[in-house]
Amino acid sequence: MTEAKLDREANTIIREGVVSIINPYDIHAVEEGLRIRERKGGSVTALSMGIPCVVEMLKQVIAMGADNAVLLTDKAFAGADSLATAYTLSKAVEKLKEFDIIVCGKQTTDGDTAQVGPGLAEKLGVPHITNVVEIMELEDDYAECRRAVDKGWEIARVKLPAVITVEKDINTPRFPSIRGIRNMLKPNIAIWNADDINAEHDRIGMKGSPTQVVKTFIPQSKAAAETIMGTPVEQAKKMISIFDELHIKVRER
């Protein structure tokens, strides 16, 4: 192992109160990166694309123990869909040169597309495994992973280098220690723009994104809700009348 790199999808955006948090899946990705380093040595690089304040989140990742971090930030990156994001990240990974494993969170909790990890793997020409819940075996040239599939589990062996995307079940992330906080205060974070990574300008940001949002709307709400207060028994009686309306028959036990 020489190097394990990490990727995070763009930061989560919360509109009211504007508290940006690290995408929860990505914290598990960082943790797994650190554990890989503990198992096999090497170094952990955190990579993210986002607005300048994402640096604050990368500092947290440094506090957890990542060796260094890279933030890709450029107005030209704005409005990237998953294809443009995968392309941009792939250019940064190329600049970082060698890697053994790229660990991504399975998905973001807002965009929820889960497309960046596989898209990045294809751009880099390496295989990928999604929904990983355990790295069972880790050798120099392959990894054996248990992954969650629709109705159960699967154990897959993948040749390295590779991209894996992880579920939250894979680990319990650590807290930074005091030393982590010291590292956080003098973080080793590189800030790169589009030219730094030699990105083609028509393949990044909105321009490099084949998908466009043409309309947003509030989902149709259902019939106006009826609020039922009262004692449990009153409420139970009301519930039974709802069952009757729906012609639901209760069964013998």
Partner 1 sequence: MRIVNRISIVREKCIGCGVCKNKCPFGSIKIENKKAEIMDSCSLCRACANVCKFGAILVEGEDAAFNTSDRHEGIWVFAELKGGTVPRVVLELVTEAKKLASTLDTEVSAILPGYNVGQAAQTLIKFGVDRVYIVDHPALKNFSNDTYAKIIIDMVRSYKPDIFLFGATVCGRSLAPRISSALNTGLTADCTQLDIDPQKRILLQTRPAFGGELMATIICPHSKPQMATVRPGIFEAVQPLHINKGKIIRPEVCIPDSRIEILKCFEDAAEGFDITKAEIIVAAGRGMGHRENLLLVEELAAILGGVVGATRAIVDEGWIERCHQVGQSGSTVSPKLYIACGISGAIQHMVGLKSSSVIVAINKDADAPIMRIANYAFVGDAIEIIRALINEIKSLKQNQAEF
Partner 2 sequence: MSERIINNISKDYDEYLKDESRKTGKADSISFPVTEKEIADTMKFFWKENIKVTIQGARTGITAGAVPRGGHILNLERMNRITGLRYDNGSDSFFLCVQPGVLLTNIRKAVSARNFNTSGWSGESLEALEKMKASACCFFPPDATETTASIGGMVACNASGARSFHYGSTRNYIEGLSIVLSDGSGINMKRNMFRAKGDLFSLTTNNGRVIQGRIPGYHMPEVKNASGYYAEKNMDLIDLFIGSEGTLGIITEIELRLLKKPAYNWGCIFFFKREEHAVKFVRVLRDDSFLPTPLAVIRPVAIEFFNSDALELLRLQKKEGKGFSDIPDIKKEFNTAIYVEFDEDSEKDIVNSVFEAAGRAEYCGGNEEDSWVAATSQLMEYLKSFRHAVPEALNLLIDKRRKDKPGITKLGTDMAVPDEKLEEIIDMYKADLAVKGFESVMFGHIGNNHIHVNILPRDMEEYRKGKELYEKWAYKVLEAGGTVSAEHGIGKLKCDFLKIMYKEDGIGEMRAVRKAFDPRNILNQGNLAE
Chain contacts with partner 2 (rule: CB under 8 A):
16-17, 19, 21-22, 60, 63, 169, 172-182, 184-185, 229, 231-234
In the complex, the smallest distance separating the C-beta of residue 117 from partner 1, rounded to whole angstroms, is: 8
The verdict on 229 binding partner 1 (CB under 8 A) reads yes
From the CB of residue 28, how many other CB atoms can be counted at a distance below 10 Å?
22
Q: Which is nearer to partner 2, 146 or 207 (CB)?
A: 146
Q: Which is nearer to partner 2, 23 or 45 (CB)?
A: 23
The verdict on 209 binding partner 1 (CB under 8 A) reads yes
Strands 128-138 and 101-105 come out as unpaired
Length of the chain: 253
In angstroms, the CA 116 to CA 152 distance is 24
In angstroms, the CA 7 to CA 104 distance is 5
In angstroms, the CA 219 to CA 64 distance is 39
Are the CB atoms for 71 and 77 separated by under 8 Å? no
DSSP 34-53: HHHHHHH--EEEEEEES-TT
In the complex, the smallest distance separating the C-beta of residue 38 from partner 2, rounded to whole angstroms, is: 13
For residue 168, with 0-12 CB atoms within 10 Å meaning exposed, 13-18 middle and 19 or more buried, which class applies? middle
The verdict on 32 binding partner 1 (CB under 8 A) reads no
The verdict on 141 binding partner 1 (CB under 8 A) reads no
Q: Which is nearer to partner 1, 188 or 235 (CB)?
A: 235
Closest of 142, 133, 67 to residue 101, by C-alpha: 142
Longest Cα–Cα distance in the chain = 71
The verdict on 51 binding partner 1 (CB under 8 A) reads yes
Q: Which is nearer to partner 2, 17 or 210 (CB)?
A: 17
Would you give the binding string for partner 1 spanning residues 79-118, x where CB under 8 A is met?
A: x-xxx--x-------------------x--xxxxxxxxxx
Which residue among 1, 156, 184, 190 contacts partner 1 (CB under 8 A)? 156
In the complex, the smallest distance separating the C-beta of residue 180 from partner 1, rounded to whole angstroms, is: 25
Which residue among 97, 98, 178, 222 contacts partner 1 (CB under 8 A)? 222
Q: 173 contacts which partner out of partner 2, partner 1, none, CB within 5 to 8 A by kind? A: partner 2
Amino acid at 15: R
